[in-house]
Amino acid sequence: MKALVVCLDGMSGVLLSGPAVRAVAAGAEHVTLLCSPRGEAAAALLPGVDEVLVWDAPWEGARPPTVDEADVDGLLRRLREAAYDVALVVPTSARGPLPIALLLRMAHVHRIGAEGVDHPATLVDVSHPRLPGRHDAEAGLDLAAALGFAPRAGDDGRPRILPAPDTSGLTGNGPYVVLHPGAGAPERRWGAGRAAETVALLADAGHRVVVTGGPDESGLCREVSGGTAVDLGGRTGLRTLAGVVRAADVVVAGDTGPAHLAAATGTPVVSVRSPAVSAERRDPYGVPAALLGGPGGATPQDVLRAVRSLMRQGVA
């Protein structure tokens, strides 16, 4: 059986699709993950994926391509040539499944499953309602089960990634806390001043701090590090970042992507939410976590207390 798992979301959605991907892989001979360019690096880290197919959908992301730029005909040609037996459209917090379900039907995918209760039977063979209170990772497993895919025995259903590299050459020896101040969406970004104050507070409390960020966040990370923390801003791809967060005592992040990456490596997370952000469906899953935020936002003192709490619990 050839299976297609579709997740056109970014890094967070792809990482949370991992449990469903592994369930599908337990019952299929070949699994392809169709993802967006924003999720491609994360897709390469997922166990159970045999092939990654990248497509930029004209309805996804902050700056979607035009229909012509998206080359819908090219996608349909590739899907038809692959001749998939089944497709699972992973539940996400973004757009609904119907646009991609239509394309999958046009590509002659035999059986299509998606979350929802009122999808046309001409487009979706298995419409599975989301159960109350289900996290996105759990909802993906629920949908996989509705399509007949069960996890392998012993699979705990948590997000996981392939083994991460040893990054002690970057971080130095000894325990440390990771602080990731950047974010793809403006509403998730820390102010540089608040993040720098948090670094100083953690360092004064005896924690060695490693600051991480993407290629376009080098200046932010330099400012936040302030000569106190190890500055890895712009120096890590996603797989290397996975190694950095895997070896950390705790990861402190405002953006969901790094938080989910840490959780997928088994590292406890302090998730610092903006007051404007509510993401219960996408809280760090499967690891001890502290969720900070509220009308006034989280303070550096809140972060320090959360880090100490996780470490006192003996989980870091």
Residues 8 and 140 both lie in one domain: yes
pLDDT of 297 > 60? The answer is yes
pLDDT of 265 > 70? The answer is yes
Quote the pLDDT of residue 176: 98
154 in a structural domain? no
Residues 109 and 172 both lie in one domain: no
> Bigger pLDDT: 191 or 135?
135
Domain boundaries, position 25: 2-146
83 in a structural domain? yes
Residues 183 and 139 both lie in one domain: no
10 in a structural domain? yes
pLDDT of 278 > 70? The answer is no
Residues 188 and 273 both lie in one domain: yes
Quote the pLDDT of residue 316: 46
Residues 200 and 266 both lie in one domain: yes
> Bigger pLDDT: 120 or 270?
270
In one-letter notation, the amino acid at residue 256 is T
- Dihedral (CA of 32, 38, 40, 42) sign: negative
161 in a structural domain? no
Domain harbouring 86, CATH code = 3.40.50.2000
Nearest to 156 by CA among 169, 143, 174, 137: 137
Residue after which a domain boundary falls, among 111, 146, 181: 146
77 in a structural domain? yes
Residues 103 and 211 both lie in one domain: no
Q: State whether residue 34 is helix, strand or coil.
A: strand
Residues 172 and 142 both lie in one domain: no
Judged by average pLDDT, the poorest of 15-19, 196-200, 310-314 is 310-314
Residues 107 and 192 both lie in one domain: no
Residue after which a domain boundary falls, among 146, 181, 211: 146
Nearest to 269 by CA among 255, 281, 277: 255
Paired residues of 6 in beta bridges? 34, 89
pLDDT of 274 > 70? The answer is no
Mean pLDDT over the full length of the chain:
92
88 in a structural domain? yes
Quote the pLDDT of residue 187: 65
Residues 77 and 189 both lie in one domain: no
Report residue 315 as tokens.
């989980």
Quote the pLDDT of residue 260: 96
Give me the number of domains the chain comprises.
Answer: 2
Judged by average pLDDT, the poorest of 169-173, 206-210, 254-258, 311-315 is 311-315
Pairing of strands 269-272, 289-292: parallel
pLDDT of 299 > 80? The answer is yes
Give the global pTM.
Answer: 0.93
Residues 177 and 85 both lie in one domain: no
pLDDT band at 280 (very low <50, low <70, confident <90, very high): low
181 in a structural domain? yes
Distances (CA, A) of 33 to 7, 53, 69, 261, 302: 7, 6, 21, 18, 39
